[in-house]
Amino acid sequence: MRKKNLVIGISVVAPSIIAIAIFVYGFITWTLRVSFSNWNSFSALLKGEYKFVGLRNYIRLFQDTRFQTDLWNTLFFTLFFLFGTIALGIVMAILVDKGLKGSRLFQNLFLFPMAISFVVTGTVWSWIFAPGNLPNNPQGLNLLFQKLGLDNLMWGWYTSTDSLGHFNLALIPVIIAAVWQLSGYTMAMYLAGLRGIPNDIIEAAKVDGASEWKIFWRVKMPLLTPITLSALIILGHISLKIFDLVFAMTGSGPNFVTDVPAIYMFELTFRSNRYAMGSAIAIIMLLFVAIVIVPYLFSSMRGEKR
């Protein structure tokens, strides 16, 4: 009986395992192979002759100023996005967790952006930050600042080519939109954590005369470390892959100020038929994500066994 169920069970999951083996691991191998090839035009693809060129596409990429900009943009976008989302998520969770009248309403409000497509978010925020420097172009915040007499705050927003070192300031509006979308999610993670802390620990700290502030930083936060780690990894990998939001909101921008690897990959592969170069970017993105995700997956699988 047991043996029979084992056989049936394995044959039930086999199609899924095979599908993942092909669609994930097989296709990744295929992409890797393309990234080492000379398939940088439609005719090369049609001929189908595979010519191995080693790391040539990767070397070209790292020498490419646009790709260098993309890497800097990813770095700064990720840093500020992670900081903003986690900080705001914690603040939201603390405020909502106080359980005042109406907390539930605020909690639902903070989380609703998660139900919306990045594409919608991008469309609406691109309008809010629209600088109005083109004819017939809308103006968002600039118009508001002008009316309030704050003319010196008017700015090119996501069309600005200002930068601080390698940080393109045009990324700021995109970061604000991304934080808008994902801080509620972070709040939900922290709320789940806060509600899991046994009450007697908090009570004990109170008896010892600890202030609310101290209880939060010395008692609750250390217990929430695993949540912060999960949040960093989940949000971090989203940030490394970010595509839809940027695509819908700003595109690559003047001088690629808001360009990211995913957009460059998309344009190389689907607009200029440079499949090998596009595949090289895809593999680099995969490596970044794997560095973040693989240790996380293994540690959470191991944690389960306990």
Partner 1 sequence: MKKIFTYFFLVLISLYILVPLYVLLATTFKPLQEIGISDMWKLPKDWSLSGFIKAFQKLGPNLKNSFYLTIPATIISAFIGSINGYVFSKVKFKYANLIFAIILFGMFIPYQSILFPLIRFLQSIKLYGTISGLILVHVVYGIPITTLIFRNYYSEVPNELVEASYMDGAGFFKTYTKVLFPISIPAFVVVIIWQFTNIWNEFLFAVTVTSSPDKQPVTVALVNLAGSQVVEWNVQMAGALLTALPTLVVYVLLGKYFIRGLLAGSVKG
State which of positions 57-116 bind partner 1 (CB under 8 A): 88, 91-92, 95-96, 98, 100, 102-103, 106, 108-116
Distance CA 28, CA 2 (A): 37
By CB under 8 A, the residues from 5 to 24 that bind partner 1 are: 5-6, 8-10, 12-13, 16-17, 19-20, 23-24
Distance CA 256, CA 73 (A): 9
Single residue of 41, 202, 219, 244 touching partner 1 by CB under 8 A: 244
H-type alpha helices, the chain? 2-20, 27-35, 42-47, 56-63, 65-97, 103-111, 118-128, 141-147, 171-196, 199-207, 212-214, 221-223, 225-241, 244-249, 261-270, 275-305
- Compute the least distance from the CB of residue 205 to partner 1, in Å: 18
Q: Does 266 bind partner 1 (CB under 8 A)?
A: yes
Q: Does 286 bind partner 1 (CB under 8 A)?
A: yes
Distance CA 205, CA 199 (A): 10
- Compute the least distance from the CB of residue 302 to partner 1, in Å: 9
Single residue of 63, 165, 301, 306 touching partner 1 by CB under 8 A: 301
Site size toward partner 1, by CB under 8 A = 102
Q: Does 303 bind partner 1 (CB under 8 A)?
A: yes
Query: What crossing angle do the helices spanning 65-97 and 56-63 adopt, rounded to 10°?
Result: 70
By CB under 8 A, the residues from 210 to 239 that bind partner 1 are: 230-231, 234, 237
